[in-house]
Amino acid sequence: MTLKTSSISRRGLLGAFAATAITAAPTYSNAAGFLRGGGDIRRLKMYSGRTGESIDTIYWIEGQYIGESMTEVNRFFRDWRNGQTHQIDTRTIDIIAATQNLLDNDQPYTLISGYRSPQTNAMLRANSSGVARNSLHLQGKASDLRMQGRSVQQMARAAAACQAGGVGRYSGSNFVHVDCGPVRAWGS
């Protein structure tokens, strides 16, 4: 019996690994989808300028959301004006985590606004034409964010790459709106 050996050069081997890496690399055309299939752990790292609180939590491990972590997330995203909490949609959290990964920045997001109670939303609507009557903030499906070291344009591009919800650019106020509603974009 004869064994056939193939001679593979170092260059050929490196080329094969490179081709595999390129094929396996995510395109980020749907970063939320990439998150769902791309790892065993999801992490959320944020700071609230309104309350001074920080959150750095692993909220998903091996296909399961962690109840205690999601409770912590719900409290963190509360209406800071009156302390009311609401269940935050996990799709919004996934979009935020995917966007944070795409930005490749060690800085936490700064949460400007998460959940808004009906009273807070009505008060904001009375003072601004830019607040929607049926805002997704009322349902725990939206957040307004900023990140040190990243521009509104950079954050919006990363969020839009997820193709998983709405992305609003508010350059004048230096924040990006991210939600898990229909895919759409607005602002400058």
> What's the pLDDT tens digit per position in 83-135?
999 999 999 999 999 999 899 888 999 999 999 999 999 998 898 877 888 89
Query: Which tokens belong to 28?
Result: 């980020």
46-61 as b/e: b if 16+ CB within 10 A = bbbeeeeeebebebbe
CATH 3.30.1380.10 corresponds to the domain 35-187: yes
Half-sphere exposure of 40 (CA within 13 A, CB side): 1
Q: What is the pTM of this model?
A: 0.78
- Report, as ranges of residue numbers, the positions in the chain whose pLDDT lies below 50: 1-29, 37-38
Whole-angstrom distance, CA of residue 87 vs CA of residue 71: 8
Whole-angstrom distance, CA of residue 112 vs CA of residue 145: 6
Residue 16's pLDDT is 40
Residue 133's pLDDT is 82
> Helix or strand or coil: residue 108?
coil
Whole-angstrom distance, CA of residue 159 vs CA of residue 26: 15
